[in-house]
Structure 1
Amino acid sequence: MTPRRGRFGRVADLALGARLVFAGGRSGVSRTLMTVVGVGLGVALLLTSTSISTMMDGRSERAAARDDQFYGVDEPPPGDRTVLVAVADTVYRDEAIRGRLLQPEGARPPLPPGLTRLPGPGDMVVSPALARLLDSPDGALLRPRLDHRIVGTIADPGLAGPGEYAYYLGTDQLRAGGGTMRIDHFGAESTGEGLDPILMLLVLIIFVVLLLPIAVFIAAAVRFGGEARDRRLAALRLVGADAAMTRRIAAGEALVGAVLGLLAGAAFFLLGRQLVERFTLEGVSVFAGDVRPDPVLAALIVLAVPAVAVVVAQLALRRIVVEPLGVVRRSAGRRRRLWWRLTLPIVGAALLAPLLGGIDQTGAAFNQTQVILGVVLLLVGVAALLPWLVDAVVRRLRGGSVSWQLAIRRLQLDTESSARMVSGVAVAVAGGIALQMLFAGVQHAYVRPTGQDVDRAQAMVVIRAGLPGAAPDALAERFRTLPGVDGAVAVLDTAVFPVGSAPDEHGERPGSPLRIADCAALRELATLDRCADGDAFQVVGEPAPGRPARSLPAPGRSVEIGFGAPGTTTRWTVPAGLRTVPGRNDPAGDESTGLLATPGALAPATLRGLGGRVFLDLDLSRRDTIELVRNAAAGITPTAEVHRLRPTEEVTRFAQIRRALFIGVLATLLLLGASLLVGILEQLRERRRTLAVLVAFGTRRATLSASVLWQTAVPVLLGLALAIVLGTVLGGTLLAMVNQAVRPDWPSIAIMSGIAGAVVLLVTGLSLPALWRLLRPGGLRTE
């Protein structure tokens, strides 16, 4: 072969490499197909990750377009273009359901997005997902709560996602005030809540940890079929190609696999996009139209993947001998150098060192590029150190069973392929350990005590208004009879105002809370030494910081009861025997400052516009008790709220980031599992004749199956050990950056390692049918 010269010759060398991809018959096509599938899976996930911002933006824009809760602004006067809106949200088996009551005040009321007309009184318009749930057996307990005539479905513009549960219910029972708002339009400007520095750090680390294993996997995928490629290049050297031509031919082969992988990745992405509406993860669903890659990042992927393929192919040529009379190096060569592999994590730690103790919730913005680069170098150090570690360990292993010796000898001959195959798993585990340590270290700042006493009650029903003439015991009795409710106490809520008092500039009248309940319920609000029906009490609490003490009406004074304007309330004279008692936080953690009265002191039947709260003692071993409570509450009024009492609550943004991490980890694990499977199948295909010969000489299939397991398990175990070390170092560094105590999170380390081990066992098991097919006598044939 005569070496080509000039630009045309270089292009011809690239073209020859591209032709050789398909010149190996069925075997060559299989190798190319594995590379294309591997690269395509990675590209599809990268394209999906670049679509996250558009997905979230689409959800936020649609949520803002239907907003109907405008706080801090003056309500418009009633007119032909106004509508009354009340919130009627509910929950069904931990799934949130968005609900609104709508009552037009004129002939041309505003319409929420997704509706062509407002539903009439008693009619309901539901989202497609809610309609399916109500029609399914799983929705049997929800149907009594939403027992209204369905007259239509909410179109896509009115939903945050295709899997969202939502409804609009028409009514004619709303009155302005309280929890009911009058609006003349739907929609507000979409404003996202900012992230404090610690949450921003979490987001950055999540993106690096989830995307870096994908990049490592793509770099490994372009080397599928590497042994056959190396032999082919050696043959070209034998017929006259020089080293430069060989590198260009290798680049041409790599470019073909990368370009076809890009096309396959685009196809996988488009196919997955059409299926995305069928899935809901952690309560989040997205429309297919929202899954659009960022154009700049997508262009970067298109350019980066072929470049990575060429670079990897050129670096691989340094590990083989491509001489005219030397085909491919089949024995262990010189030992790998350690110094440059250690340099990567050391430089990464050095980049993060200046930020130690410099990031907190009140701190200024930090150098995000410095953080990303430092974390990337630390995690890339796992992939760089793993081949050296595997080589150093397996070189010293001797003896053992036949399956063990077969596996170790194979690793000794080619540690590069085995380490490359599991490097993505090791990087993911290291990053996961670091993330879990960071989450565990900072969660105390985002998981806060609520002050709720779950020993006294496990749920609370809140009715804002609309209980005229209600008796506390009758209200509690509606819930006591439910299966799984061991006890219930009810308190009626209203307020007292000085007679004739005028509203302030904010439209509020100065008043004091008034709560009506029997003695058993009042003991949940105050410490009473004695109580009988007809008694009344006052609880004087500590004033809030910066505010004057609340003035309670004096005994014998005449007051107005109710939330309406003067003249629409009920007159009442404060009893002369009013006693002052120590207050007590109710089970929900709220103070009970104000007036307390038993029904004998103030008959609820004489009052209007009462609200109420019911504290429930539940048998939590019954799954659907809380659903029966919600049904009973909805039977009183659709706007009734049922709250599960919990000792702690998680900050919304922190919970959203944790949820995003769960979704990302799930997607990454699926990709890594696929990458391991493809890698194992590629190695088995390369060894098919060797395996068939071993079977022909009497080696048992069980022995060969065990050798495949050992061959995968040894690099994985070494990778996990390395990942635990560097992941703990990275996690400790991140904790030091946010001024938290550095301590290993052993449960998270065990969980991450266990998941990785389970993935390896599963993938190895899936590869066994392919192994058994290769062990047939037909495997001795060659092309």
Structure 2
Amino acid sequence: MNVRREHPPRERGRARAMCGDLAMGFRFAFSGGREGWVRALLTSVGVGLGVALLLLTTAVPNILDARHARESARHDFSLTPEEIPAADDTLVVAHAGSLWHERDIRGRLLQPEGARAPLPPGISGFPAPGEMYVSPALAEVLKSSGGELLRERLPGKIVGTIGEKGLIGPAELAYYAGSDDLAERIGHHSAVARIDHFGDIGDEGSGALDPVLLLLVLLVFVVLLAPVGIFVATAVRFGGEQRDRRLAALRLVGCDGGMTRRIAAGEALAGAVLGLVLGTGFFLIGAEIAGTVELFGVSVFPDYLTPTPVLAALVAVAVPAAAVFVTLFALRRVVIEPLGVVRTAKPARRRLWWRLLPPLAGLAMLYPMIGQGDGNGDFNQYLVTGGVLLLLVGVTALLPWVVEASVARLGHGAVSWQLAVRRLQLSSGTAARMVNGIAVAVAGAIALQMLFAAVQEDYTESTGRDPSRVQMQVDLTDDVDVAAAGRKFEKTEGVRDAVALSHTSFGDRRKDPEYTLDITVGDCAALRELARLSTCREGDVFLAESEVADYDAKLRELMAPGATVWVDPSYGDGEPAAEARWTLPAAVPAVNVREDSLQPHVTGLLVTPSALPAKAEPSLYGNVYVRVDESVPDAREHVRNTAAAIDPLVDAWSWTSTQRSEEYDTIRTGLFVGASAVLVLIGASLLVSQLEQLRERRKLLSSLIAFGTRRRTLTLSVLWQTAIPITLGLLLAMAVGLTLGVILLKMATVPLRVDWASVLAMTGIGGAVVLVVTLLSLPPLLRLMRPDGLRTE
């Protein structure tokens, strides 16, 4: 091998020589027979897994844009308040959505009013009454054996499938059904509207995130991507021991130290380039699989997963550059001599002082952001991102020192323990590199979980409803007989009780009243769910008294016994109302509203049905409160079926004691989806790393077996070699995660509180991933522990 080089002129010759060294290393990566190819393949697989996730991240902007564009294209309510008159190009649309086992079903009823009525995206024609177009996912549910109840709710004949252009994801449940009686309901139901086109959702409902939510978004991206970068950096260092032997051979034939380092960087560059190719393949395969997977209610079409060109180009440049940098940095203090590598001797003790600099710098960057979450200003994105990254990178800097310092003090024990400890004492850096990624992921997860748990109350509000009293509420349409609907729900399978209440209002004048108050109508049993009634008979009227019922003298005079009022008075030139004259009975006793009333803020009059004049009945609209027997399978689905049978526009929904901000929930869902992807990467990368280390130790394991060492002893030693570093790594991750979490809580100006259950859960998940990887690596380990592993060429 000719290793002498000419350098005329000096600078150009030096650059040419460096490129030649890198090219030589590139060729060496794929030489050396089967060993070389296995080494290159392991490196490229490790890098490829990271590249696939990085490409997925670069596709996130396109995913969000594509979903928003699809939602905008099918938007079917006009944003202008003016009513559109019926014409040849208008369409009446009604929202008839529902739930199926707590999954949203997007339902629309359509009534075209002319030949040029706008057609919704994704369907080829308008369904006739009794017909419907359904999404592929909904079609599968309807065809399944468990979809019988849903088929009862959606009895229309399926005449077509909604195409991709009409859906935001392949797992979305949606349908379009035909109708012929929607036009007459415009103005009587908020879910019915006339439109002349689809689309133009614009930026409706969008707005700037508040500082704390913006902080959460930044942290989600940083915490999810930091382990990916670390895994890529770890993967390019696979095969370190064999590489050192090759570098020593190069020194023997005349290469100087700089050349050998550049050749090693060339080998890493080859693995990174091949990793880019494999990563692109993994990404494309994953994109196709993504069309069949739904995570936390989110699904995407494969064509959504198009990486942003600029970000994809950045990944293509950054990964090979990082491979070269990491290799040169790893070899900066390694003395490569013709007869071996000095690192195989007892290494010098690692220094602590410089390893503390990254986390301290991170804390310094985050310090100015403390208190910015209380409205004092926005967080500086660069300081937050840089500070969190430096703190997490500090884990990778501190962990090798922690592992080295800890294993150096470990004492004697069983043979398996001694083998593991001695191995760790000789190569603690390799063990730390394997654990780095999982430690960073756990540290970030702990900090994020602390912040999410602390701010959750700020984005959660009480609904004022008690699910232990009533489990479901059905909001009826105006033209439904409330009492009859209540009886239907009482007979529904899985319903223990149903309380029907109607509502209207009354005023002091027939038209344009100056004072108005509410009327709640129900039988005595229903009214007792609202107020404490000592006695009640049909025809009685009661005055609701509570803290919120602040009646002045004029209102009390309006509700005085014997007073004359007008039920459902008219306003301006609007549609005529009932304008029913009503003389209150001679006795209107005051009753106290229950603290656990089924309706919040009960005011005005509580009336039994016969007390109202007959003319007022058309003005009543109502609700049915349903108590569900949870022991009956699909009890809630039976309730929804009864609601749909009464009227497709009737809304049946479950009570909850609290509700969270939609923006907060979206960010939280994004975290869960991203964390699931990162966990898969962590497991796959750890498995590849474990297999690579076992492959390097094949001859050592075979030698020990040949000398009579028991397989059980060797297996336990390998398990100890994994357990010790991961335990130290998780302890360090807990410390860093708690520190970062406290800083984030101070930044968000929320009370300091450590959710130890979440901290231990995040740590346990990290440990579980390592345990699964270790168990999966046992079969290859047992195959390697054979005397014939000493055979060589």
TM normalised by structure 2 equals 0.93
CA distance, structure 1, for counterparts of residue 424 and residue 569 of structure 2: 82
Asked if the contact 1:453–1:587 (Cα under 8 Å) also holds between the matched residues in 2, the reply is no
Unaligned runs of 5+ in 2: 7-12
Structure 2 residue aligned with 1:294: 308
Confirm whether residue 752 of structure 1 aligns to residue 753 of structure 2. no
The answer to whether residue 502 in structure 2 is matched with residue 492 in structure 1 is yes
Question: Relative to structure 2, which stretch is displaced further, 104-113 or 168-177?
Answer: 104-113
Find out whether 1:569 has 2:569 as its counterpart: no
Matches within 5 A, 1:761-780: 761-780=771-790
Distance change (3 Å), C-alpha of 1:342 and 1:606: closer
In 2, Cα distance between equivalents of 1:586 and 1:30: 69
Could you tell me which of 75, 86, 93 is aligned with 1:78?
86
- 1:238-257 equivalences in 2 (<5 Å): 238-257=252-271
Cα drift, residue 512 of structure 1:
4.5
Q: 1:230–1:328: 8 Å Cα contact kept in structure 2? A: no
Distance of aligned partners of 1:71 and 1:558 in 2 relative to their CA distance in 1, 3 Å threshold: farther
Matched, 1:187 2:199: yes
Distance 1:611 1:562, change over 3 A: farther
Partner amino acid for 2:151?
R
Q: Secondary structure at the match of 2:31?
A: coil
Q: Which residue of 2 aligns with 1:57?
A: 65
Structure 1 pair 60–176 and aligned structure 2 pair: CA distance change class (3 A): same
Q: Distance in 1 between matches of 2:684 and 2:614?
A: 67
Shift of 1:767: 0.5
Structure 1 residues 590 and 110: CA distance shift in structure 2, 3 A:
farther
Return the match for 2:210 from 185, 193, 196: 196
Give the AA of the match of 1:577: A
- From 615, 618, 641, give the equivalent of 1:608: 618
1:12 match: 20
Counterpart code for 1:432: A
Unaligned runs of 5+ in 1: 504-508
Q: Tell me, yes or no, if the aligned pair for 2:75 and 2:201 is still in contact at 8 Å.
A: no
- Aligned runs of 1:406-425 on 2, under 5 Å? 406-425=419-438
Moved more, 398-407 or 28-37: 398-407
User: Please, which of 358, 362, 374 is the counterpart of residue 372 of structure 2?
Assistant: 358
Identify which of 411, 417, 437 aligns with 1:398: 411
- The one-character-per-residue Cα deviations of 1:253-278 (angstroms, maximum 9, x if unpaired) are 11111111111111111111111110
How many correspondences in the alignment? 773
Alignment-derived partner of residue 91 in structure 1: 99
Equivalent position of 2:9 in the other structure: none
Secondary structure of 1:579's partner? coil
Cα displacement (A) at 1:218: 0.2
**Cα deviation, residue 214, structure 1:** 0.3
CA deviation after TM superposition for structure 1 residue 137, in Å: 1.6
Structure 1 letter corresponding to 2:749: N
Instruction: Give the counterpart letter for 2:718 in structure 1.
Output: V
- Mapped to 2, the partners of 1:131 and 1:511 lie a distance apart of 49
Code of the residue aligned with 1:188 in structure 2: it is D
State the 1:439 CA deviation: 0.8
Q: Do the aligned residues in 1 keep the contact of 2:503 with 2:621 (CA within 8 Å)?
A: yes
- When structure 1 is superposed on structure 2, of 335-344 and 63-72 the one drifting more is 63-72
Residue 482 of structure 2 contacts residue 623 of structure 2 at CA under 8 Å; is this kept in 1?
no
Instruction: State the match for 2:564 in structure 1.
Output: 557
- Structure 1 residue 679 and structure 2 residue 689: aligned? yes
Change (3 A) 1:262 1:562: farther
Given that 1:345 and 1:378 are in contact with CA atoms closer than 8 Å, whether structure 2 keeps it comes out as yes
Contact 2:239 2:696 (C-alpha < 8 Å) held by counterparts = yes
Residues 1:477 and 2:487 aligned together: yes
CA contact (8 A) 2:549 2:602 kept: no
Q: 1:86 to 1:538 in 2, by over 3 A?
A: farther
Residue 277 of structure 2 corresponds to which residue in structure 1? 263
Relative to structure 1, the CA distance from residue 561 to residue 775 in structure 2 (aligned partners, 3 Å threshold; closer, same or farther) is same
Q: Which secondary structure does the structure 2 equivalent of 1:390 belong to?
A: helix
- Greater Cα shift, 89-98 or 320-329: 320-329
Give 1:277's aligned residue.
291
Alignment-derived partner of residue 711 in structure 2: 701
Q: For the residues of structure 1 that align with 2:295 and 2:150, how far apart are their CA atoms? A: 21
Q: Which residue of 1 is the match for residue 523 of structure 2?
A: 518
Given that 1:4 and 1:10 are in contact with CA atoms closer than 8 Å, whether structure 2 keeps it comes out as no
> What is the Cα deviation at residue 763 of structure 1?
0.4
What is the CA-CA distance between 1:605 and the residue it aligns to?
Answer: 9.5
Q: Which residue of structure 1 lines up, in the alignment, with residue 401 of structure 2?
A: 388
Q: Determine which of 405, 424, 436 is the counterpart of 2:449.
A: 436
Query: CA, structure 1 residues 16+47, in 2 after alignment: closer, same or farther (shift >3 Å)?
Result: same
Q: CA deviation at 1:592?
A: 2.6
User: For residues 491-541 of structure 1, what are the alpha-carbon distances to aligned partners after superposition, in whole Å with 9 as ceiling and x for unaligned?
Assistant: 1234446775269xxxxx985443321011112233433321012334477
1:126 aligns with 2:139: no
Q: Give the structure 1 partner of residue 144 of structure 2.
A: 136
Aligned-partner Cα distance in 1 for 2:720–2:629: 50
1:506 maps to which residue? none
In structure 1, give the amino acid aligned to 2:4. Answer: P
Q: C-alpha distance in 2, partners of 1:89/1:2? A: 74
Change over 3 Å in CA distance of 1:117–1:282 after alignment to 2: same
Q: Which residue pairs with 1:630 in the alignment?
A: 640
1:471–1:605 CA contact under 8 A, matched in 2? no
Measure, in 1, the Cα distance between the counterparts of 2:614 and 2:376. 53
CA contact 2:492–2:638 (8 Å) conserved in 1: yes
Query: Which runs of structure 2 are paired with 1:649-688 in the superposition (5 Å)?
Result: 649-688=659-698
CA 692–329 in structure 1, closer or farther in 2 if over 3 Å, else same: same
- Corresponding position: 1:579 with 2:599: no
Instruction: Give the match's secondary structure for 1:86.
Output: strand
In 2: Cα distance, 1:489 partner to 1:326 partner: 86
C-alpha distance in structure 1 between counterparts of 2:215 and 2:193, whole Å: 39
Q: What does the per-residue CA deviation read over 1:520-571, in whole Å, with 9 as the maximum and x for residues that have no partner?
A: 11122334333210123344777899x9998967755363549996556373
Q: What is the Cα deviation at residue 623 of structure 1?
A: 4.6
Q: Does 1:722 align with 2:723?
A: no
Contact 2:515 2:555 in 1 (8 A): no
- Matches of 1:589 and 1:71 in 2, distance apart? 31
Residues 593, 85 of structure 1: alpha-carbon distance in 2 compared, 3 angstrom cutoff: farther
User: Which residue does 1:159 correspond to in 2?
Assistant: 167
Pairwise CA distance, 1:634: 1.0
Partner AA of 1:447 in structure 2: T
Name 2:31's counterpart in structure 1.
23
Q: Is the 8 A contact 2:580 2:613 kept in 1?
A: no
In structure 1, distance between residues paired with 2:121 and 2:194: 17
Residue of structure 1 equivalent to 2:124: 116
Checking the alignment, whether the CA contact within 8 Å between 2:570 and 2:579 is kept in structure 1 is no
Checking the alignment, whether the CA contact within 8 Å between 1:3 and 1:242 is kept in structure 2 is no
- Aligned counterparts of 2:725 and 2:377: Cα–Cα separation in 1: 43
Question: Which amino acid is 2:582 matched to?
Answer: T
Deviations 1:676-725 (A, max 9, x none): 11111001100101111111111121211111111111110000010011
* Residues 332, 414 of structure 1: 8 Å contact kept: no
In 1: Cα distance, 2:555 partner to 2:117 partner: 41
In 1, distance between residues paired with 2:22 and 2:579? Answer: 92
Distance 1:62 1:515, change over 3 A: same
Q: How has the CA–CA distance of structure 1 residues 660 and 623 changed in structure 2, closer, same or farther, with 3 Å as cutoff? A: farther
1:145 aligns to what?
153
Separation of aligned partners in 2, 1:392 and 1:346: 21
Aligned mates of 2:695, 2:294 — CA distance in 1: 38
What is the percentage of aligned positions where both structures have the same residue?
51
Query: What's the CA shift for 1:351?
Result: 1.0
Corresponding letter in the other structure for 1:237: R
Once superposed, what is the RMSD of the aligned Cα atoms?
2.5
Aligned to 1:598: 608
Q: Name the amino acid aligned to 2:540.
A: D
Greater shift in the superposed pair: 728-737 or 513-522: 513-522
What are the equivalent positions in structure 2 for 1:452-467 lying under 5 Å apart?
Answer: 452-467=465-480
- The change in CA–CA distance for 1:632 and 1:513 in structure 2 (over 3 A counts) is same
- Alignment partner of 2:611: what SS? coil
**Distance 1:21-1:731 versus aligned 2 partners, 3 A rule:** same
In structure 2, C-alpha distance between the alignment counterparts of 1:563 and 1:409, rounded to whole Å: 90
Question: Structure 1 residues 586 and 496 mapped into 2: Cα distance closer, same or farther (>3 Å)?
Answer: farther
